[in-house]
Amino acid sequence: MLRTYFKYGLIFLILLTVSCKHYQVSTKHYDNIQINNIALDSSIYNLYKPYKDSLDKIMLLPIAILSENVIKQQPSSTLGNLIADILFDETQKLSKDTVDFAITNYGGIRVNTLQKGTLKILDAFNIMPFENTIGVLSINQEEVQMLCDVIAQKGGWPISNQINFRIKDGKAIDILINQKPLQENKIYKVAIIDYLVSGGDNMSFLKDKPYINFNVLFRDAIIEYLKNTKEPIIPSNQKRIMYAE
């Protein structure tokens, strides 16, 4: 039946095109019509209001206290530090191996500022609206260097407090992981989101590397971390990535 409608519709369009080919519009006239004071359709409002009220109760639920404003900046920032540390802590809870450090992409954090005071579940959705999951990537010394070089080229991304480096001529130098230089023959365990492992943000070299995906949304991990934080959150202002002088 659907194919029949499509066939006759196509014939109609062809006939319409043929029949109209000798005509052309001589003038065009536009009017702006301003619409004000649109009456609320009570039937639609009454339909969705219970769902909205139910959703608001969840989204506006307080889950943590932030002691001061945090901002998103490059190469390092208080908001970036907080999110990367959350990624590290929550991934480490799920991993059987010791995680060495965590990184996430700058563009993945979708707010520029979090105001001090009460944090709600809605804040976690605003920070991380994407359906990215967290997991552990296994890479060697050379691949850690490549990873940090991409981060350097992009001006700095959020990294956890287990790693730091400097940027010089678009490259990462003086990389330290747990206060130690990169080691040969060592396999590093990196907490990271699936978007980057799948090649997002110029990370195509990670595609075929060993990766354990825990299938836990990064957003859910942020919510879990905040809910379990009993004391007000004091953000770190540590300069984990700096430009070399």
**pLDDT classification of 14: cutoffs 50, 70, 90:** very low
Q: What is the mean pLDDT of residues 88-100?
A: 97
Domain assignment of residue 7, yes or no = no
Res 77: pLDDT: 97
Closest CA to 100 of 165, 166, 192, 173: 192
Query: Range of 156's domain?
Result: 56-243
What is the residue whose two structure tokens read 């992009």? 154
Q: What is the mean pLDDT of residues 211-215?
A: 98
Domain assignment of residue 231, yes or no = yes
Domain assignment of residue 33, yes or no = no
Res 57: pLDDT: 74
Q: What is the mean pLDDT of residues 25-50?
A: 62
Res 165: pLDDT: 98
**From 39-48, 185-194, 200-209, the region with the lowest mean pLDDT:** 39-48
> How far apart are the C-alpha atoms of 58 and 51, rounded to whole Å?
11
Res 58: pLDDT: 83
**From 9-13, 83-87, 179-183, 224-228, the region with the lowest mean pLDDT:** 9-13
Closest CA to 126 of 204, 31, 20, 226: 226
pLDDT at 9 over 50: no
Domain assignment of residue 87, yes or no = yes
Domain assignment of residue 5, yes or no = no
Domain assignment of residue 24, yes or no = no
Domain assignment of residue 75, yes or no = yes
Task: Output the average pLDDT for the chain.
Answer: 87
Number of domains the chain contains: 1
Domain assignment of residue 90, yes or no = yes
Q: What is the CATH number of the domain that holds 66?
A: 3.90.780.10
